[in-house]
Amino acid sequence: LRRVLSPQRLAGRRVLITAGPTWEAIDPVRGLTNRSSGKMGFALAQAAWEAGAEVTLVAGPVALATPRGVQRIDVVSARDMLEAVLAEVEAADVFIATAAVADWRPAQVSEQKIKKDASGRTPTLSFTENPDILATVAALPRSRSGALYCVGFAAESHDLQRHAEEKRARKGVPLLVGNIGPETFGRDDNALLLVDAEGSMALPRAPKTELARLLVAELARRLSATP
């Protein structure tokens, strides 16, 4: 019903969203992940669908129901997420990266469960950097020409505005959405700071579902402003 009642601001647009954490294996039973719940990305997927978009959601391991109408692709690791995104991104008009992608993965994955050492020695992990999904997509020719509009997210513990501006420039995206974290992880509400080339705009604390609708309306405005 919401899709019927909502203004169809994104009708005919294709939106690709990443959400949730990634999970990086150490061995068959252990891995590294983070506290991202996926709620913001799932709320955005729902809001974009309600606004008339065709939505694909690439989700790391989360305990959330798929929003109605949304095509969901489940992935585990950052590399899986990149692969799924690259397979879908050619068709997209908008890419929104809300996922909390693990920055590093264990350099070696043990094929067998690592057993305790009788002498009490503890294992040491070394790491390899994961691919940056957002930066990879932002560097594609379609993004650089403006045919694909890329949006990044960032949770910062302090100096939100400065870090968000720096991150926007570093990732090469037109819009970066910042929030003060990680306290917002798992919560149903949030407060956002939208940072673009012109400056910034705050969206005051509200339920993530409400913020998602505001953000979708803002994206629709930006898309229709560009020829």
Closest to 179 measured CA to CA, from 163, 166, 196: 163
> Could you say which of 88, 132, 210, 218 contacts ligand CTP (CB under 6 A)?
132
Closest to 201 measured CA to CA, from 225, 221, 181, 183: 221
Task: Kindly state whether residue 103 participates in binding Ca ion, applying the rule CB under 5 A.
Answer: yes
Q: Which residue is nearest to Ca ion (CB)?
A: 103
In the annotation, is 179 catalytic? no
Q: Which does 78 bind (CB under 5 to 8 A by kind): ligand CTP, Ca ion, none?
A: ligand CTP
Nearer to ligand CTP, 52 or 176 (CB): 176
Stretch that binds ligand CTP, among 44-52, 66-74, 152-160, 189-197 (CB under 6 A): 152-160
Stretch that binds ligand CTP, among 48-56, 105-113, 125-133, 199-207 (CB under 6 A): 125-133
Catalytic residue, chosen from 34, 130, 179, 190, is 34
Which residues have a catalytic role annotated?
34
